Structure 1
Amino acid sequence: MTTNIIRATVEQLDLVADLFNQYRVFYGQESDLKLAHHYINERLCNEESVVFLAVNADGEAVGFTQLYPTFSSVSAQRSWILNDLFVTESGRSGGVGRALMNAATQHAIETGANGLSLETANDNVIAQSLYESLGYKKETAYLSYFLSV
């Protein structure tokens, strides 16, 4: 599958918002295209995230990844959180996820980051296999905590 990876801008808002909505539904959320559109628009307009979009030869959006900046106090450097990766059914098994991950890695290098971090579900073995094939290492030294407010 021939796929073009581009850094999304507000010009691609509708494409990204649709994929983002599908991503949220995949994770058990109710479909809400208006919410997805608003959320992605804010991230792009406020430069709060970087979104890479995969578009096939027919111009169809088949995947995206979204990165959020963060900083490491210990290394005194920027790093990126790869928070979202989604590939449509039609784009799966065609290298789209790998191409998006490679774009994220290149972006981290170009911005002088010390690395990329991500989390995935324990049972998402397909994603784990992709991440490990790209050199990601499973962290076991730290526990994750979350406080809902």
Structure 2
Amino acid sequence: MTFVRPATINDLDTLTELLDGYRQFYAQPSNVEAARAFLRQRFGQADSRILVSESENGRLTGFVQLYPGVSTVGLNARWTLNDLFVLPESRDKGTGRALMEAATKLAKEHGVARLILMTQVENERAQHLYESLGWQRNTAFYGYLLDVK
């Protein structure tokens, strides 16, 4: 059984390890100090919403992070589901699904009109989860990136 709840600053140590694991999944070098600083900044600025999953023994097994935004065209709020990560040993146990469902519930509770996300083209496992939850692949817009540093 997976329990999902909002992350708190008391989760910082374990959440840091999860974030570092997430970054490594995306081929980034491990950097625990930078991950900790990034999370401290998120908590300090309250500019994202982080939900964590816990196992029955209280161990954190994953997280999802949402960033609030708005749509000028839609004249409404939309959140970007920027991060979803589940420990390898907790995959295929409903943890990712529980985190995604909790994110959707939280968005509904806050009157958010739309959730959006992007995932790597090769990440078919995640795509299958998203589509099984009713997410639709965007075919109306192209995504573009510009590195400015």
TM over 0.5: yes
CA distance in 2, matches of 1:146, 1:125: 21
Structure 2 residue identity aligned to 1:136: W
Post-superposition shift, 1:135?
0.5
Q: Which residue of 2 aligns with 1:111?
A: 110
CA distance in 2, matches of 1:126, 1:39: 27
SS in 2 for 1:142: coil
Say whether 1:122 aligns with 2:121: yes
The runs of at least 4 consecutive aligned structure 1 residues that moved more than 6 Å come to none
Q: Output one character per residue of 1:6-42: Cα deviation in whole Å (capped at 9) or x when no partner.
A: 1001111112111000000111111111100110111
Structure 1 residue identity aligned to 2:97: R
CA distance in 2, matches of 1:132, 1:64: 19
Pairwise CA RMSD of aligned residues? 0.7
Post-superposition shift, 1:48?
0.7
Post-superposition shift, 1:60?
1.4
SS in 2 for 1:70: strand
For 1:49-64, what aligned pairs fall within 5 Å after superposition? 49-64=48-63
The alignment of Structure 1 onto Structure 2 pairs a total of residues equal to 148
Post-superposition shift, 1:95?
0.1
CA distance in 2, matches of 1:122, 1:26: 14
Post-superposition shift, 1:44?
1.3
CA distance in 1, matches of 2:40, 2:53: 18
CA distance in 2, matches of 1:79, 1:141: 17
TM-score using structure 1 length? 0.97
TM-score using structure 2 length? 0.97
SS in 1 for 2:77: strand
Post-superposition shift, 1:75?
1.1
Say whether 1:25 aligns with 2:32: no
For 1:1-149, what aligned pairs fall within 5 Å after superposition? 2-149=1-148
Post-superposition shift, 1:147?
1.0
Structure 2 gaps of 5+ residues are none
- Asked if structure 2 preserves the Cα contact closer than 8 Å seen for 1:63 and 1:87, the reply is yes
CA distance in 2, matches of 1:31, 1:40: 15
Structure 1 gaps of 5+ residues are none
Q: Output one character per residue of 1:93-140: Cα deviation in whole Å (capped at 9) or x when no partner.
A: 000000000010011101101110000111111111100010000011
- Asked if structure 2 preserves the Cα contact closer than 8 Å seen for 1:10 and 1:45, the reply is no
